[in-house]
């Protein structure tokens, strides 16, 4: 936990998340040279390149926003910084290297059984054990699970052309590619994070390629937009399943992070929503009557967090399904949709504001 290794994920943090991390002494622990400002989000559909922006839907940050839509930070560096900050809190005891085997809750307390047989009692158990949360399942909370039947491969690529801070989300025919602008290092060339979504057999075949063949394949897939691509990291894979828990709480238990809402990565909001969930929970605990696990506290948290996440979860799944459907008429509709959206200034302003999220927890 203190030194997690690179896991491929580059997290696009909103301004709100960055501010929260700053206020809580985490942001300054992330090496500044590893933070990459996200200046433009470019969305494309179909197999014709539109790197000049024509036919693409573009979002750019308004001039008063430090010139960034958000900030791209490697996930393992966020985890390292969070761990450091938490370790310095004298009121927190970290019990690492042990899983939670079982948990229960009654009117007065939550009880946890750990791997080593020890029991912990608390007024509230908060489960943040990921989108396949065992605690959620064991406590009988079901979930909407949308299996896209695909896998995501993430890795860093080096290339000669600068990315100019542009995050490209490209719904190509038969593949979905994101190229995210990573901060340069001291080596020649520039770095991007490749996020490639394909069916599991294709991902397995790509993972098995040697570096030279993989580089050629990625250069072809990205149509040499940034020049020849060269693999710079491990190739990490994730199943593409999204999850929305039927409930976010039960007796003396609250679900946060992916355990409550496991988003599709296209809108880059999973981690941001996870932070928001814990903020809402803290606010409701503070508002309550000194019992953090009281039913009314947990119900208020659940109400607010569902309201903040349900529309986004549904909209993201809908867009992801439409934009990975390659039948001829749908392809034309996808392209027309992007063109129309690009001309609708109020819509673009709304979405840009949402992507940046400079407001507080709602
Ligand atoms: C490719 C990719 C790109 C992404 N990009 C973005 C992005 O740009 N922006 C964004 O906001 N989000 C992004 N996300 C989503 C983001 O990574 C997740 O939302 C976030 O990491 C979830 O954090 P979490 O702590 O809830 O869950 P996890 O990171 O899954 O952590 C769960 C933890 O619980 C532990 N655990 C599990 N079971 C037990 C047990 N029984 N006992 C004890 N511990 C247990 C695990 O070991 C793990 O450490 C991306 C995700 C992917 C896959």
* Helices marked H in 265-294: 270-287
Q: Write down the mean pLDDT value for the chain.
A: 90
| Res 361: pLDDT | 45
Please tell me what DSSP assigns to residue 34. Answer: G
Establish how many alpha carbons lie within 13 A of residue 225's alpha carbon, considering only the half-sphere containing its beta carbon.
23
Q: CB-based burial of residue 354 (10 Å sphere; 0-12 exposed, 13-18 middle, 19+ buried)?
A: middle
Establish how many alpha carbons lie within 13 A of residue 184's alpha carbon, considering only the half-sphere containing its beta carbon.
12
Contact 47, 172 (CB under 8 A): yes
Nearest CA residue ID for atom 51, ligand 1 = 265
The pick from 254, 271, 316, 357 for probing ligand 1's pocket by mutation, whose C-beta has the most ligand atoms within 8 angstroms, reads 271
Residues 276, 51: Cα–Cα separation, whole Å: 34
The DSSP bridge partners found for residue 112 are 103, 120
Q: pLDDT of 76-116, one tens digit each?
A: 999 999 999 999 999 999 998 888 999 999 999 999 999 99
What are phi and psi for residue 92, nearest 5 degrees? -110, 130
* Helices marked H in 88-152: 134-138
Output the CA–CA distances (angstroms, integers) from residue 308 to 153, 219, 234, in the order listed.
29, 39, 35
Q: What is the CATH number of domain 10-78+146-240?
A: 3.30.9.10
Residues 289, 285: Cα–Cα separation, whole Å: 8
Sequence-distant (6+) residues with CB within 8 A of 161 are 190, 225, 226, 227
What are phi and psi for residue 8, nearest 5 degrees? 85, -30
pLDDT of residue 350 exceeding 80: no
Q: pLDDT of 160-202, one tens digit each?
A: 999 999 999 888 888 899 999 999 999 999 999 999 999 999 9
Q: pLDDT of 304-315, one tens digit each?
A: 999 999 998 988
Q: Is the fold of 10-78+146-240 the same as that of 95-142+246-326?
A: no
Contact 114, 98 (CB under 8 A): yes
The correct CATH number of 95-142+246-326 out of 3.90.1310.10, 1.10.1240.10, 3.40.50.970, 3.50.50.60 is 3.50.50.60
Q: Which is the closest atom of ligand 1 to the Cα of 272?
A: 11
The DSSP bridge partners found for residue 172 are 175
The pick from 4, 68, 265, 276 for probing ligand 1's pocket by mutation, whose C-beta has the most ligand atoms within 8 angstroms, reads 265
Residues 216, 340: Cα–Cα separation, whole Å: 35
Residues 53, 40: Cα–Cα separation, whole Å: 11
Contact 41, 12 (CB under 8 A): no
Instruction: Report CA dihedral (46, 52, 55, 58) to the nearest 10 degrees.
Output: 110
C-alpha of 182 from chain center: 15
Ligand 1 lined by 274 (C-beta under 6 Å): yes
Å from CA of 316 to ligand 1 middle: 18
Stated as kind and residue range, the H or E segment containing 147 is strand 143-159
Å from CA of 35 to ligand 1 middle: 20
Å from CA of 258 to ligand 1 middle: 6
| Res 222: pLDDT | 94
Contact 76, 30 (CB under 8 A): no
Q: Label residue 39 by pLDDT band (50, 70, 90).
A: very high
Q: Label residue 60 by pLDDT band (50, 70, 90).
A: confident
Nearest CA residue ID for atom 50, ligand 1 = 265
Question: Where along the chain do its domains lie?
Answer: 10-78+146-240, 95-142+246-326
Ligand 1 lined by 138 (C-beta under 6 Å): no
């Amino acid at each position: 936990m203190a030194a997690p290794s690179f896991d491929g994920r580059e997290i696009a943090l909103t301004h709100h998340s960055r501010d929260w991390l700053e206020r809580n002494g985490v942001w300054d622990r992330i090496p500044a040279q590893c933070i990459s400002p996200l200046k433009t989000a470019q969305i494309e559909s179909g197999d014709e390149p539109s790197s000049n922006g024509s036919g693409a839907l573009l979002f750019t940050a308004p001039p008063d926003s430090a010139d960034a839509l958000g900030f791209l930070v490697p996930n393992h560096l966020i985890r390292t910084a969070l761990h450091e900050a938490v370790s310095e809190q004298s009121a927190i005891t970290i019990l690492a290297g042990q899983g939670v085997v079982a948990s229960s809750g009654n009117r007065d307390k939550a009880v946890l059984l750990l791997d080593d047989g020890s029991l912990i009692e608390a007024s509230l158990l908060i489960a943040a054990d990921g989108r396949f949360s065992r605690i959620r399942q064991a406590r009988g909370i079901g979930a909407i699970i949308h299996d896209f039947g695909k896998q995501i491969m993430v890795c860093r690529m080096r290339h000669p052309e600068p990315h100019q801070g542009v995050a490209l989300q490209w719904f190509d025919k038969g593949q979905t590619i994101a190229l995210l602008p990573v901060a340069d290092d001291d080596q020649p060339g520039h770095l991007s994070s490749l996020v490639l979504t394909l069916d599991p057999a294709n991902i397995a075949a790509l993972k098995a390629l040697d570096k030279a063949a993989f580089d050629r394949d990625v250069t072809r897939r990205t149509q040499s937009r940034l020049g020849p691509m060269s693999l710079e990291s491990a190739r990490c894979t994730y199943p593409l399943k999204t999850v929305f828990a039927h409930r976010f709480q039960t007796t003396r238990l609250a679900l946060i992070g992916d355990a409550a809402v496991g988003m599709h990565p296209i809108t880059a909001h999973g981690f941001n929503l996870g932070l928001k969930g814990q903020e809402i929970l803290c606010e409701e605990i503070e508002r309550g009557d000194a019992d953090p696990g009281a039913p009314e506290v947990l119900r208020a948290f659940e109400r607010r967090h569902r309201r903040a996440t349900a529309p986004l979860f549904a909209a993201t799944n809908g867009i992801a399904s439409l934009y990975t459907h390659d039948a001829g008429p749908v392809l034309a509709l996808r392209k027309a949709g992007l063109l129309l959206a690009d001309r609708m200034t109020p819509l673009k302003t709304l979405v840009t504001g949402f992507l940046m999220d400079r407001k507080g927890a709602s």
